[in-house]
Amino acid sequence: MRIVSGRMPSQQQGYSLVELLVALTLGVFVVGGMLTTLLTVYQTSRSQSKVTTLSNNVTLAMNLLTQVIQSAGYIPDPSTGTVTLEFPATTTYLSVGQYLMGTYGGSAASDTLSLRYVTGLINGQILQQDSQINCLGRGLPSGVVANNPSTYYIFDQTLQMDANGNLTCTYTGSIFTPASQTTTVQEPTATYTLVGDGSTTVLNHLSFLYGVDTNADGSADGYYTATQVAALSDWSSVVSVQVNMVFNNPLASQAGQPATFTYSKIIPLMSRP
């Protein structure tokens, strides 16, 4: 019998169960660490985005309110126009010449602030326009006053917070003819959202305090609610408005974060000394 000699195939070896378990454990730790890092980066990015949005809302709201409130009672040419001539009595403004009116909502509801000012004036046939804008950022409608000699264009606006936490402006644009004491609405009353998108409650509370000049020296001697000013029958002596806005903190769910932020600003009326 012939015996054929040859090399026996070597035995193939794989990973043991212990080695597989160790490798899997290490893999879980590595992947878990990566996921934790990614989650932290994502949460930080979202937090920064929320803070940026809050900052933008504060800036936008204050800029809009400042632009509108400081214009209350403004007349382009005081030499030919007066508040008693250009601001007739209405259901909102009970006195002739009144251009400021507010309501007090207390701690449970938002205050409201109504104001009006003139942005275009015809003196004879000469159109005098200035840079005044309404709460929507728009100026005098093209051709409206030019086609109506001896008339004035009045911006009438009410600022408030709605039930969804949005800052809103209810606006009406009208032509007023002093000779006939008639008002013709050119831009019908409508409410616009200035800050907020309806899906997120941006504002928590909005209030106004009014700086009243009690001794006619041009400076506010005290700040009062709308109810207190009305009791004094002294809307004509208001020289400034303090705006107080309470914003919801988008990071309130995080430890150590307050529920709200409060921002205040005193806005002088440029129609006053």
Q: What is the number of alpha carbons within 13 Å of residue 143 lying toward its C-beta?
A: 0
Domain-embedded: residue 29: no
Lowest mean pLDDT among 26-35, 105-114, 216-225: 26-35
Domain-embedded: residue 210: yes
* Cβ neighbours of residue 251 closer than 8 Å, sequence gap 6 or more: 47, 50, 51, 257
Domain of 134, in residue numbers: 48-268
Domain-embedded: residue 137: yes
Check residue 135 and report its DSSP letter. Answer: T
pLDDT for position 16: 73
Write down the pTM of the prediction: 0.77
Domain-embedded: residue 15: no
Distance separating alpha carbons of residues 162 and 181, to the nearest angstrom: 33
pLDDT confidence of 126, banded at 50, 70, 90?
very low
Distance separating alpha carbons of residues 103 and 110, to the nearest angstrom: 9
Does an H or E element contain 187, and which?
strand 182-195
pLDDT confidence of 84, banded at 50, 70, 90?
confident
Domain-embedded: residue 215: yes
pLDDT for position 193: 84
Distance separating alpha carbons of residues 203 and 209, to the nearest angstrom: 18
pLDDT for position 239: 94
pLDDT at position 221 over 80: yes
pLDDT for position 135: 87
pLDDT for position 122: 47
Domain-embedded: residue 164: yes
pLDDT in tens, 242-252: 999 998 887 88
Domain-embedded: residue 82: yes
Split into its structural domains, the chain has a count of: 1
Work out the angle at residue 145's Cα, subtended by the Cα atoms of residues 142 and 146, and round it to the nearest 5 degrees: 80
Distance separating alpha carbons of residues 182 and 12, to the nearest angstrom: 104
pLDDT for position 50: 67
Distance separating alpha carbons of residues 255 and 59, to the nearest angstrom: 26
Domain-embedded: residue 41: no
- If one counts every other C-beta atom within 10 angstroms of the C-beta of residue 269, the result is 22
- If one counts every other C-beta atom within 10 angstroms of the C-beta of residue 206, the result is 25
Structure tokens at 49: 């985005």
